[in-house]
Amino acid sequence: MKRIIIITGASSGMGAEFARQIYADKSTKNHEMWLIAREADKLTEFAATLTGKNVTVRTFAMDLCGAAGAERVREILDKESKRGKFVVDMLINNAGFGTYGPFIETDPTREMMMVDLNCTALTGICGFALPHMQRGSRIINVASLAAFLPLGNFAVYAATKAYVLSFSIALAAELKEHGISVCALCPGSVSTNFANVASNGKRREVLHGCDPCRVVAHCLKKSARGAKIALWRPKWKITAFMSRFVGRYIGARFTYLFNKRPH
């Protein structure tokens, strides 16, 4: 039976790193990898770098935003069903973005798009892929360290990632008997194009970002062992733990006052 691995936001940053590492893994053989993002050229160029194995890499250039985005994934799954039996071995819901700045100064349309991509599409894609999963299948949902506390100057983003974390853990609990694991990746700063997008080009690099290779490698290892949350750096683990003792309002007010973000 055909075995499929789906990675969203696979054209850059952590998504591309997931694709590289999963492609290179010795357990990935005779699989089909589906890489999804909006920019067709970037996606094709990246896919062309994945060579040398009996793994078919297919690219799907599509906007995943909202219910319509999730429906597009349903359509390709339905089309595949008509061709024959297959199983989704792994789903990595990684596509997402943030916006920096106080909510009142940001574009509400962009904030709604963020909820549509980070929450609505991720939920729908999980729902549409699950009927094609079986015992041993894995879901990785990319949340963030921002999921643990409301953040000023990052209000909607932190709220979307709190949703991803909460949803992923509840889903892991519900799928335990089905033998399907769900892991929420909760990284702090990682060197990708994230800050450039979130700041509208005003901050090119993620401040103090760490190497996406190591974050992704750790996440894949943890998810293979059935972990519900992947937090790589000790500093991130401490932050996530300590956030339980910080008042939600205090956390938001403190970050609003002292963690300004260019926007």
Ligand X SMILES: NC(=O)c1ccc[n+]([C@@H]2O[C@H](COP(=O)([O-])OP(=O)(O)OC[C@H]3O[C@@H](n4cnc5c(N)ncnc54)[C@H](OP(=O)(O)O)[C@@H]3O)[C@@H](O)[C@H]2O)c1
Q: How far is the CB of 175 from ligand X (least distance, A)?
A: 21
- Which is nearer to ligand X, 117 or 182 (by Cβ)? 117
Q: Determine which helix (DSSP H) or strand (DSSP E) holds 70, and give its type and residue range.
A: helix 66-83
Q: How far is the CB of 246 from ligand X (least distance, A)?
A: 19
* Minimum CB distance to ligand X smaller for 2 or for 239: 239
**Residue 1 CB, nearest distance to ligand X (Å)?**
28
Integer angstrom CA distances of residue 242 from 53, 149, 190, 236: 44, 10, 21, 10
Among the listed residues 47, 34, 68, 248, the one whose alpha carbon sits nearest the alpha carbon of residue 147: 248
| Crossing angle (nearest 10°) for helices 122-129 and 155-175 | 20
Residue 100 or residue 252: which is nearer to ligand X going by CB?
100
Q: Which of 86, 111, 95 is nearest to 32 (CA)?
A: 86
Report which residue type is found at 71. E
Task: Compute the least distance from the CB of residue 61 to ligand X, in Å.
Answer: 8
Name the token pair of 207: 């401040």
Strand order in the sheet with 56-61: 56-61, 31-37, 2-8, 86-93, 138-142, 181-185, 229-230
Q: Which residues bind ligand X (CB under 6 A)?
A: 9-15, 37-39, 42, 63-65, 94-98, 117, 142, 144, 187, 189-190, 192-194, 197, 206, 209
The least CB distance from residue 209 to ligand X, in Å, is 6
Copy the structure tokens of residue 54: 């009996």
State which residue, 87 or 113, has the beta carbon closest to ligand X. 113
Residue closer to ligand X (CB basis): 2 or 42:
42
